[in-house]
Amino acid sequence: MVRGKIVIRRIENMRSRQVTFSKRRRGLLKKARELAILCDVQVGVIIFSSTGRLYEYANSTATTTMDMQFA
């Protein structure tokens, strides 16, 4: 069974938008953590919500975000 493609556009319903943001944020942070563990790399993720709230992740080998080198 194949999933149908979704159209990427702004979700108009505020409640649906918040639920989608929450689920995708958790998924993104989980993938970042998995990538850091599996590949032994430094990963940093910064997310700002529409309300201005900050969500961040940096794996334990990255002591600060300033120490990370960007390609």
Question: Per-domain residue ranges for the chain?
Answer: 14-68
In order, the DSSP letters of the chain are --PPP-------SHHHHHHHHHHHHHHHHHHHHHHHHHHT---EEEEE-TT--EEEEE-TT-SSGGGPPP-
pLDDT tens digit sequence for 13-38: 999 999 999 999 999 999 999 999 99
The domain 14-68: what is its CATH number?
Answer: 3.40.1810.10
Whole-structure pTM over 0.75, yes or no? no
pLDDT at 68: 53
50 or 66, greater pLDDT: 50
- Render pLDDT for 45-63 as a digit per residue (tens, 0 to 9): 999 998 899 999 998 754 5
